[in-house]
Chain A
Amino acid sequence: CAGMENPGYRSGSVDSLRHRPSDVVVEDDDDDDEMVDIAGATLDFSNTDDDPPLGSGEYFVERGSRAGSMSGAGPGRLVDPLEDPLPGKSKDRDRHREIANKSRQSTVALLHSVSDAFSGWLLMLLVGLMSGALAGGIDIAAHWLTDMKEGLCLVGFWFNHEHCCWTSNETTFQERDRCPQWQSWAEIMTGTSEGALAYFVNYLMFLVWALLFALLAVTLVRAFAPYACGSGIPEIKTILSGFIIRGYLGKWTLIIKTITLVLAVSSGLSLGKEGPLVHVACCCANILCHLFTKYRKNEAKRREVLSAAAAVGVSVAFGAPIGGVLFSLEEVSYYFPLKTLWRSFFAALVAAFTLRSINPFGNSRLVLFYVEFHAPWHLVELGPFILLGIFGGLWGALFIRANIAWCRIRKSTRLGHYPVTEVLVVTALTGMLAYPNSYTRMGGAELISELFNDCSLLDSSQLCGYKQSNSTSGAGVGNGLADRPAGVGLYAALWQLALALVFKMMITVITFGMKVPSGLFIPSMAVGAIAGRLLGVGMEQLAYYNHDSAIFRGWCSPGADCITPGLYAMVGAAACLGGVTRMTVSLVVIMFELTGGLEYIVPLMAATMTSKWVADAFGREGIYEAHIRLNGYPFLEPKEEFQHSSLTADVMRPRRSDPPLAVLTQEGMTVEEVEALVESTHYSGFPVVVSQDSHRLVGFVLRRDLLISIDNARKRQEGVVGASQVVFTEHSPAPADDAPPPLRLRGIVDLSPFTVTDHTPMDITVDIFRKLGLRQCLVTHNGKLLGIITKKDILKHMANDCQQRPRLHPLQL
């Protein structure tokens, strides 16, 4: 047996309560809460029932047919469910064992076993391809729609501004953006392109288009898929930790999120695409899982695929595959074994490659903001970088507080009753205030690109409006880029940038969380980039006017190009994004994959660490954890600690005022009594004890399994009536002559439930819950069953305890 065993099987077979903690251990059962939309997202139209997956009829037929074909008895024979091992828990292990055993029998079976092993990789390939294709389409459509607000291309309406002027022959630099094929709305409607009337018409058309896009986006979300709004990352974090939200990863959510993301981004709102792209990638993964039996039936394996899909999402958003994998590891996933690491990387690369071949950026670039300079930086500049880190941390803490407060207002007051109006008002406000300032009129990504880039000799943008030195005639050899005083253009740009900074800081607070798909990476990076650039230009001018001071004398001689403001913009962007999301390693890797600047890892790390420490001093949570807590999802934060030490006995149920624990005895109860007990309570499971007198523990049985087994037994087994005894032991006593035959239900009892004693400290119990992904745990005292503790009890206890949570020293993290 050892020879044929494929190592992929062993790590892949998931058994929630039996494996060592180091394996992938996630429960594959359903919560008493809602379920993943298996029905809505299925691609085959055979089973569209949205009842629990163990719906009585289908489950047994399917197992029966599989068992039947294996033993050669034909598909008609139904396997007796009572002789089966535990449904759901060892299905995967059985399946693998059967395939491995059969593979020795014929070549076809061998191929089947090989294909089963490769199905995981094939699935990753498909996820990467689909996500890459969707992301490419989203990019192209978003660029086109954004430019649609400004004008129209006459040679083909599907071209955006850049592509329209692709073949134009304008040679002078000032006119590089104007070509006869592209006309702004003022030109089309009034025939002029200069003057007050043209400005007014352009302004008006900009607002009209922005409002139209926002209206379409919010009405589509409302009408077809309300789960498509927001970022998606908090909910995906919750899904990956075990809570299931029905319909969140379905096909309608995918379609609507894709379409409305383009509309939302193009409407000029201050939001980005990255969070929604993670959601889109996870939807693709969920939908593609239905093609593979191995993943369709097993929740735990599906969560591995979702972790990999989160990596794919970030990878296509930025063109940063390694950063995407690290982001999935750090921010999104709850369990991340090594196998998932390799597969995520594969999927992220496939997606990045697909994106590149679609070529949405138009010049075969993979990264979003390619940075062309490689100027060195000096140790003295670490001071300003740390300053930027402090700014990023402060802004992160402030943003989280403000955004959560605004979202709370939206949840509780009348503001929440008018989502469509809210979106329209915010879009109108953004459009009206953003249009006059050229730095807020351009989209977030374009703004960041411009801020990151250093001024080349030919750059005519306002940011490069330095006073030209007079040495153009003979000594053209000198480095004309360096060390120039600021000109009029640059001062104007600085004013506009400062106003843009204030505007963006305020508008992002009310934009994130609206009922349209919204991400927050790009707005945070924009805020940081503006701040960084301002500081960089300030440092540059300081160096120019103070060549002789002690700080600059050693390394910044006159005429040398010593300070690059673009680098400061990069560092500022990283600091602000780190302050908001509290990402560490993944942020640094994303930044240097985005910009290609490997020399700048040290400044990026310095700024990121400073910003995280400063932000953590004000509040422990990043924006996603804060939203999880705001919505009350049952997510056990891995970093929480308790202030008061307490024992399990304090948190478990039943408490003193509660009715006693509802238990089943291993024999001696009739079917009627069992059904009455189950129906009189709402619990999702019942412990089985030896007898009512001695509560020694036998096992744990789920409500759902109990009801289904009794139901089936009544229908199919002979002689089972209300008065039949329910027997959970292995050997039942011989029934009396006129008594009905007993109902043996040993097969559905979990004989190894997890237990803790009543004196176990709560810290250890919470750790057990987290690491093993449990939903409930039994509490014993001196070997006898005392009570039960569930995940919800723990969450309530943590919520109560966090009133006086101590501040962990930031350096401990």
Chain B
Amino acid sequence: VSPMKLKNAKSLICDLLQNSEDIRCKCICPPYRDIEGQIYKQNVSLKDCNCLHVVEPMPVDGKDVEAYCLRCECKFEERSSATIKVTIIMYLSILGLLLLYMVYLTLLEPMLKRRLFGHSQLIQSDDDVGDQQPFANAHNVLSHSHSRPNMLNKVEHAQQRWRRQVQEQRKSVFDRHVVLS
């Protein structure tokens, strides 16, 4: 592996990780004589972050440059656009997954259960008014009728228990208003 290839690989990785546009120097210069207030931005490193390097084109001539630059304030700022991108994409994917799961739970799963097991086995449902899962005991019926591998049973059991917990919470928060005003 030649050193040139190594160097290329390294610079590629560096570029991926740190966008060179993520640093900048921002100089705010107030009005001076008849020049208006201006803001100058350039992406230079910390050592070059001063008025002389950043303010281009310099609006005043030779002798006034120092006076002008004394009034300017220069700040070095950096950010990480990779972090922002990753965070937003993760957030949107989690939100999308939750929405899909919600749609699945409320719309698709009852349809699937109905199609698989027919209407008759699922008549005995809870009489609760706020019951969102009228087929809540579908899994009990399942476990009696089929023999399933243990892992799947466990997952379904856990999911059923979670659903019941959420139902309880929903009843106490939304319906009876005993918790959380």
Contact = CB atoms under 8 A, between A and B. Distances in A.
Contact of A173 (B37, B102, B173): B37
B4 interface: no
B156 interface: no
B79 A168 contact: no
Interface in A758-781: none
B117 interface: no
B78 A40 contact: no
B41 A227 contact: no
Contact of B166 (A170, A226, A230, A476): A226
A137 B90 contact: yes
Interface string A150-184: 00000010110001001111111100100000000
B180 A457 contact: no
B165 interface: yes
B88 to A, nearest CB: 4
Interface string B73-84: 001011111011
Interface stretch (A329-337, A355-363, A608-616, A740-748): A355-363
B84 A169 contact: no
A62 B91 CA distance: 40
Contact of A223 (B30, B106, B178): B106
A416 to B, nearest CB: 6
A751 B66 CA distance: 85
Contact of A259 (B37, B87, B95, B105): B95
A476 B33 contact: yes
Given A158-B85, A362-B79, A513 B162 contact: no
Nearest to B105: A223
B84 A158 contact: yes
Given A140-B87, A172-B38, A359-B83, A230 B177 contact: no
Give the interface SS of chain B, mostly helix, strand, loop or mixed: helix
Nearest to B157: A48
A158 B88 contact: yes
Given A230-B181, A252-B162, A171 B78 contact: no
Contact of B179 (A141, A227, A419): A227
A223 B103 CA distance: 10
Contacts of A216: 95, 99
Contact of A167 (B21, B162, B177): B21
Interface string A237-263: 000000001110000100110010010
A458 interface: yes
Contacts of A170: 39
A167 B179 contact: no
B181 A513 contact: yes
B24 A167 contact: yes
A171 B102 CA distance: 48
A410 B175 CA distance: 11
A136 B91 CA distance: 12
A168 B24 CA distance: 11
B169 A137 contact: no
Given A167-B21, A411-B181, A359 B80 contact: yes
Contacts of A482: none
A259 B21 CA distance: 30
A222 B81 contact: no
A476 B102 contact: no
Contacts of A235: 179-180
B75 A363 contact: yes
Contacts of A429: none
A675 interface: no
A136 B86 CA distance: 12
B180 A631 contact: yes
Contact of A140 (B31, B88, B173): B88
Nearest to A50: B161
Given A40-B165, A226-B170, A359-B79, A166 B24 contact: yes
A631 B39 contact: no
A224 B41 contact: no
A229 B173 contact: yes
B91 A262 contact: yes
Interface string A324-358: 00000000000000000000000000000000001
Contacts of A230: 180-181
Interface residues of B, number: 51
A202 B107 CA distance: 34
Contacts of B50: none
A40 B170 contact: no
B77 A363 contact: yes
A457 B28 CA distance: 10
B52 interface: no
Contacts of B79: 163, 166, 359, 362-363
Residue of A364, A417, A458, A631 ringed by the most chain B CB atoms within 10 A: A458
Contacts of A220: 98-99, 102
Contacts of B172: 226
A407 interface: yes
B78 to A, nearest CB: 7
Given A50-B161, A259-B94, A259-B95, A227 B173 contact: yes
Contacts of A402: none
Contacts of A167: 21, 24, 41, 43
Contacts of A40: 162, 165
Contact of B169 (A176, A247, A458): A247
A627 interface: yes
Contacts of A407: 181
A223 B102 contact: yes
Contacts of B9: none
Contacts of A141: 87-88, 91
A159 B28 contact: no
B85 A156 contact: yes
B64 to A, nearest CB: 11
Contacts of A657: none
Nearest to A171: B38
Residue of B40, B43, B105, B162 ringed by the most chain A CB atoms within 10 A: B162
A171 to B, nearest CB: 5
A515 interface: yes
Given A229-B180, A262-B91, A173 B39 contact: yes
Residue of A170, A246, A457 ringed by the most chain B CB atoms within 10 A: A457
A557 B78 CA distance: 42
Contacts of A262: 91
A50 B28 CA distance: 61
A259 B169 contact: no
A144 interface: yes
Contacts of A137: 87, 90-91
A807 B170 CA distance: 38
Nearest to B88: A158
B87 A364 contact: no
A171 B177 contact: no
A472 interface: yes
A513 B177 CA distance: 12
A631 B179 contact: yes
A168 B41 contact: yes
B158 interface: yes
A418 B14 CA distance: 53
Nearest to B83: A358
Contacts of B99: 216, 220
Residue of A136, A166, A515, A630 ringed by the most chain B CB atoms within 10 A: A166
19 contacts: A37-B165, A48-B158, A50-B161, A50-B165, A137-B87, A166-B21, A220-B98, A225-B166, A226-B169, A227-B173, A227-B179, A235-B179, A235-B180, A246-B165, A252-B162, A364-B77, A411-B181, A456-B30, A513-B181
Given A144-B88, A220-B102, A627-B181, 11 more contacts: A50-B161, A136-B87, A158-B84, A172-B39, A173-B36, A223-B102, A224-B98, A226-B172, A229-B180, A515-B173, A632-B178
Interface of B: 21, 24, 28, 30-33, 36-41, 43, 75, 77-81, 83-85, 87-91, 94-95, 98-99, 102, 105-106, 158, 161-162, 165-166, 169-170, 172-175, 177-181
Q: Which 8 A-B residue pairings sit nearest by Cβ, starting from the closest?
A: A158-B88, A226-B173, A457-B30, A411-B177, A226-B169, A458-B37, A407-B181, A363-B77
